[in-house]
Amino acid sequence: MKRTINFIGILFTLLVFICCETPTTKETKKIDEQKFSLENYLTKDGYVRLEMKKIPSGHLHLFGQLNGVNGNFILDTGAGATVIEEKNKEKFHLQTEKSDKQATGAGGTGMQMQTSDKNNLKIEKFELNELNLMLMNLDHVNNAFESMGLEKIDGVIGADILTNNKAIIDYSNLILYLKK
């Protein structure tokens, strides 16, 4: 009787091990496919994935085209508006008007601004048409960048674009998601 109980115990233990074995390669692949992917989720929801680069100043950098002309831009979530260096007015074919608005920020206060309407900004596959922009002197930014041995920027992508296009920043992977 004792042998029968031991034998049944051994069979039960084997049955448990067999039922609880590790998943096969097919099963593991299926489990991996079920893992959440931010990129898949957002692109299915209409977001466009844009790669950024972190430059030595700590800023996030984007290459883009403004009115068909290549430009260097940094992303600034604290900038209320997208701002272009006023010295690049001709470079980007910007039609401007004086503005009674004055900028306040890291560069100081009371900086005079200009506006430019109906512009086209393209960053990789993401395009904005009829975009209104602000222009101002960005010497304070470019002088700081030059002193660090960095290339000058043409402008700052601000919270207006980020908010209007429901931006999601995947900082650890340096990806910006924007929705049209």
Measure Cα distances from 145 to 55, 94, 156 in Å: 10, 24, 13
| Cα 89 to Cα 80: distance, rounded to the nearest angstrom | 20
pLDDT of residue 132: 96
Q: Residue 120: pLDDT band by 50, 70, 90 thresholds? A: very high
pLDDT of residue 133: 97
pLDDT of residue 11: 55
pLDDT of residue 6: 57
**Residue 47 burial by CB count (10 A; 0-12/13-18/19+): exposed, middle or buried?**
buried
Q: What is the mean pLDDT of residues 120-141?
A: 97
User: What value does the mean pLDDT of the chain take?
Assistant: 86
| Cα 152 to Cα 139: distance, rounded to the nearest angstrom | 9
* Nearest residue to 178 (alpha-carbon basis) of 131, 110, 114, 109: 131
Structure-model confidence comparison of residues 151 and 112, the more confident one: 151
Residue 71 has pLDDT above 80, yes or no: yes
Q: Residue 57: pLDDT band by 50, 70, 90 thresholds? A: very high
Structure-model confidence comparison of residues 135 and 180, the more confident one: 135
Q: Residue 180: pLDDT band by 50, 70, 90 thresholds? A: confident
pLDDT, tens digit (0-9, with 9 covering 90-100), for 29-47: 665 666 889 999 999 999 9
Residue 12 has pLDDT above 80, yes or no: no
pLDDT of residue 35: 81
Residue 115 has pLDDT above 70, yes or no: yes
